[in-house]
Chain A
Amino acid sequence: MINVKDLVKIYEGQVTVHALKGVSFKIEQGEFVTIMGPSGSGKSTLLHQLALLDKPTSGQILLDDIDVSKLSEHEKTAYRLKNLGYVFQEYALIPELNAIENTYLPLMLLGARRKEYTRASTELLEKVGLGNRVHHLISQLSGGEQQRVAIARALVNKSKTLFADEPCANLDTENKGIVLRLLRQLCNELGQTILMVTHELEQREFSDRVIWLRDGIIEKEEIISKEVRDSALREEYQVI
């Protein structure tokens, strides 16, 4: 569960940017929420604060009732490793590791046994449709495949919450469909909370709810009906 209260983020610098100007919302466990808004509206900034990659200027973030501002840097690192998954816009994999090694890295860091993390990551790679790419190097994978490895990595620790910042931005239509359906499926099957940023309108149809941002404040919220979601999930639906 994510509970955000009056979140403010100001970037100090040559020009001071008020990226978030007091944002509050709540997301329940197992919800798939899309954050939408024009470029520069603060979507990525919001996700960075929630995923503990950055420190807000003020306001409160509660992740499962833990006030994350009370955590030290080390505790935040440990929290990310254990409870969060993050999918970056540009695949963000480690080039010296192959698909399965990239995937199992978080589990390895958590101290899992070799057998355990190999099995878990093989299963996940199969789930994201890369069962036949397990030992491929990153450079041998297409953009869509790389993004799916990144998703597998974000899931391998059985994270409660998955953050994805424009995960489809660099993908072609076919791969966009694959990734979005995958996210929806994960939410349904594993009860994962998913927070996805996008600025492409159709992509929101895979989620339960949309938070619209504009100039660092919430403009509106939108509930996606089950009918829209189901039609988006149909095979022939083309994500442009």
Chain B
Amino acid sequence: MRNDFQAAIFLVYKYITRGNKGTLILTIIVTTLAFVQINFISGVLSGAIELAHQQAKDNYVSNIVIQPGKDEDYIKQVPLLKNKITSMPGIISCTSRYTIGSNISYDPDKNGKDVKSISWPIKSINPKEEMRVTNIQNYMVAGKYLEESDRDQIMMGKEISGGFGASLEVQSLKGASVGDEVTVYYRNGVTRDYTIKGIYSVDFPLSDMAVFVTEKEMESVLGVHNRASEILVKTNQVHTEQYYIQALRENGLDKEDIRPWTDFFGLMAGLTQTFGIIKRIVFAIGLVVAGVTIFIVIYIATIGRRKQIGIMKAIGMKERIIIVSYIFLAFFYAILGISLGIVLLEVLIKPYFISHPLNMPVGKVSLMIIQGELIASIVCMFVVSIIAGFVPSWRVTKENIIKAIWG
């Protein structure tokens, strides 16, 4: 048995070192590319999904959203509540917002003709607090972020203002810019004029479709104080969202409606789910294509050695040794192809995408290789190479010796 193993190793070593270098290089290139291809496409899709999730947490609703309980318009005693929340372990910070429906109208020529108007909720922020929860301040494409004392200023995402490469122009104010005036008709009957102070773009439609005024301004519009329509909570993400939600509930927030960010993902959730499915399909197809390619290359190489296999059998070599030697050979191709593929992905492709990310509707996407998938693809490559080494050599060794040599 050990002897057979040694003989197989001896043969493989000679095939590799003395065999046709062209075939060797070609097979390894094919294996490498097949491996890279699987991980590349699923890496891009994983990158897009991951980025969408990251965007939602960083620039949209943070990790957890607290909303008023049933039959309540607002969360009450908000400053107290916020103190309580931030003092909980694992909570980094939180911020409160008001939300109210409105109609925003924009008259670029100030003559009553060609007025652009959209229906959209307006939210309030407390700038200092907000900056500790979301990152929108880092994505200003025009003007400035709101300040606590601002009263007649408004800030909006590019999907509302229009321009800056916004993707949903139909619903926007079609090119309102910083310094322009808009009139807001609040749902409660109040009407106010605002100057656009800043426009931001995080390249994530859900975030870029928002309009903000300051908390001070909003409280005067609504005539309320120390209340909130929602509190966004940023966690240290050590545990799942459910864990922190449970902690919040245990800490006295038992009437409020508390939800994880995923509940606010809406359309995006469907999109990332679809991406996930596409990814799995592409991954599976990639594996099959890679498998078939490697199989064909090794199959042809083995069938090309039919005569040689016949001769080895004729001199009394056990079939087992022949088959094992071809499996080892295929294994060798797989090991080299996978290693080169990993080097290519990590050293060339990944750094390239980090410096040249793809512009996708969820932001700038770079490659994300998920370890589990990488391992799955490696395991699959090995399984395929065992089959590719086994099947043709097994078929040839089962053949009549005379036929293998002369047939």
Contact = CB atoms under 8 A, between A and B. Distances in A.
B314 A80 contact: yes
Interface residues of A, number: 29
A108 B10 contact: yes
A88 B311 contact: yes
Contacts, number: 66
A77 B7 CA distance: 16
Given A77-B318, A80-B316, A111-B3, A96 B402 contact: no
A105 B315 contact: yes
Contacts of B18: 95-97, 137
Contacts of B340: none
Nearest to B311: A92
Given A97-B18, A111-B3, A106 B402 contact: no
Interface in A104-125: 105-106, 108-109, 111
B312 interface: yes
Given A77-B319, A108-B7, A108-B10, A86 B308 contact: no
Interface in A14-51: 48, 51
Contacts of A153: 315
Best-buried of B7, B318, B400, B401 by chain A (most CB within 10 Å): B401
A223 interface: no
B14 A77 contact: no
Contacts of A137: 18
A77 B316 contact: yes
A71 interface: no
B314 A54 contact: no
A54 B311 contact: no
Given A96-B18, A96-B19, A106 B316 contact: yes
Given A92-B405, A108-B7, A97 B315 contact: no
B314 to A, nearest CB: 6
A190 interface: no
Contact of A88 (B15, B17, B319, B405): B405
A82 B10 CA distance: 20
B313 interface: yes
Nearest to A81: B316
Interface in B364-407: 400-402, 405
A54 B315 contact: no
Interface in B306-325: 307-308, 311-319, 321
Interface in B1-45: 3, 7, 10-11, 14-15, 17-19
A192 B376 CA distance: 57
Contacts of B318: 74, 77-78, 109
A106 to B, nearest CB: 6
Contact of A101 (B14, B317, B319, B401): B14
A228 interface: no
A77 B19 CA distance: 26
Contacts of A96: 11, 14-15, 17-19
A82 B402 contact: no
A80 B17 CA distance: 29
A80 B15 contact: no
B12 to A, nearest CB: 10
A1 B374 CA distance: 62
28 contacts: A53-B402, A54-B401, A54-B402, A74-B318, A77-B316, A78-B318, A79-B316, A80-B316, A81-B315, A81-B316, A81-B317, A86-B314, A88-B311, A88-B314, A92-B311, A92-B405, A94-B14, A96-B14, A96-B15, A97-B18, A101-B14, A106-B315, A106-B316, A108-B10, A109-B3, A109-B7, A109-B321, A111-B3
Interface of A: 48, 51, 53-54, 74, 77-82, 84, 86, 88, 92-97, 101, 105-106, 108-109, 111, 137, 153-154
